[in-house]
Amino acid sequence: MQTPLVSIVLPTYNGSRYLREAVQSCLDQTYTNWELIIVDDASNDDTPSIISHFVELDSRIRSIRHETNRKLPAALNTGFIHTTGDYLTWTSDDNMYRPNALEEMLHYFYCNPTIEFVYTDYTIIDNNENILRCVEVVTPDNLVFINCIGPSFMYTRALYEQLIGFDEDLFLAEDYDYWLRASQYTILSPLHKNLYLYRKHDNNLSNRKVSYITEVSDRALQKNLPQLIWIPKRLRSDRYLQLMLGAIQKGHIMFALKCFLHALVLNPFFVLYRSVLIIFRNFRRRRIA
């Protein structure tokens, strides 16, 4: 097996609580030809000193600092601009790779030379690294409904160069948007090996901003859905109807109409059936009330 360089980007903002463990999980990799780019997004805790320690410890680790806080997608873009690897990935300051993560994903690429993007199973842990549950990732057609890629992934530089970075207007759905765009260029391939530890705790942004993440994820999907021609028409049509119902609840009638027309073009019989069913259910509710 060849030894290509793997670039890992690690964005952090006031991540001192778990940052040491996150970086150590990179140092513990069985595959050793990697570089780690840590992007400090203007932290004001002990994060800078922790980063300095690791930069001095290992020449494979480099750091970049934003003087003002620019949020996660900007930090990712800053990090990836400075990467030089043949394969790319990123991790969070509160999560950890399993020691064989890089080696297993690279081996998958080696055995499947046409694949440009791989994502893996992972384990959810708590503050004290107790296992909460193991997650087996699902097939990529589920992207039309949820951000199903998960936190453990790797992709080729060739794919990276086809995409235009992370959308800085889609904070907290920047990864979902990126995967949706990537899926338009290549097959996203699941690898059913558990290679990552995702830490769930009270300070997770994904826990604290659930409604905002739902809203911005819908925006990412709206932007990309017309281009997701690799996803079966019925699934795309169903998702347009879900977006339509959400838009109606928010009073966005014109957008709801646009979603309905998209769904109708994709799958007219299914949409007409669903529409009749919705009307019938609403009629029954009104009669009961």
Residue for token digits 């030894």? 3
CA separation for the pair 256, 242 (Å, rounded): 10
Residue-level pLDDT at 228: 94
Q: Tens digits of per-residue pLDDT, 200-239? A: 987 666 655 788 898 899 999 999 999 999 999 989 998 9
pTM (2 d.p.): 0.90
Task: List the single range of 130-134, 236-240, 269-273 with lowest mean pLDDT.
Answer: 269-273
Query: 10 Å Cβ neighbour count for 219?
Result: 15
| pLDDT(280) > 70 | no
SS3 of the chain: the string is CCCCCEEEEEEECCCCCCHHHHHHHHHCCCCCCEEEEEEECCCCCCHHHHHHHHHHHCCCEEEEECCCCCCHHHHHHHHHHCCCCCEEEECCCCCEECCCHHHHHHHHHHHCCCCCEEEEEEEEECCCCCEEEEECCCCHHHHHCCCCCCCCEEEEHHHHHHCCCCCCCCCCCHHHHHHHHHCCCCCEEEEEEEEEEEECCCCCHHHHCHHHHHHHHHHHHHHHHHHCCCCCHHHHHHHHHHHHHHHHHCCCHHHHHHHHHHHHHHCHHHHHHHHHHHHHHHHHHHHHC
pLDDT band at residue 249 under the 50/70/90 scheme:
confident
pLDDT band at residue 284 under the 50/70/90 scheme:
low
Q: Tens digits of per-residue pLDDT, 17-68? A: 999 999 999 999 999 999 999 999 999 999 999 999 999 999 999 999 999 9
Residue-level pLDDT at 242: 87
| pLDDT(269) > 60 | yes
Q: Tens digits of per-residue pLDDT, 77-124? A: 999 999 999 999 999 999 999 999 999 999 999 999 999 999 999 999
Q: Tens digits of per-residue pLDDT, 157-205? A: 999 999 989 999 999 999 999 999 999 999 999 999 999 999 998 766 6
CA separation for the pair 80, 6 (Å, rounded): 12
Q: Which domains does the chain have, with CATH numbers?
A: 6-211 (3.90.550.10), 232-288 (no CATH)
- Cα angle for residues 140, 25, 167 (degrees, 5° grid): 45
Query: 10 Å Cβ neighbour count for 53?
Result: 12
CA separation for the pair 258, 254 (Å, rounded): 6
What is the number of residues in the chain?
289
- Cα angle for residues 180, 78, 188 (degrees, 5° grid): 25
CA separation for the pair 145, 153 (Å, rounded): 19
Q: Which tokens go with 18?
A: 């778990």
End-to-end CA distance of the chain: 69
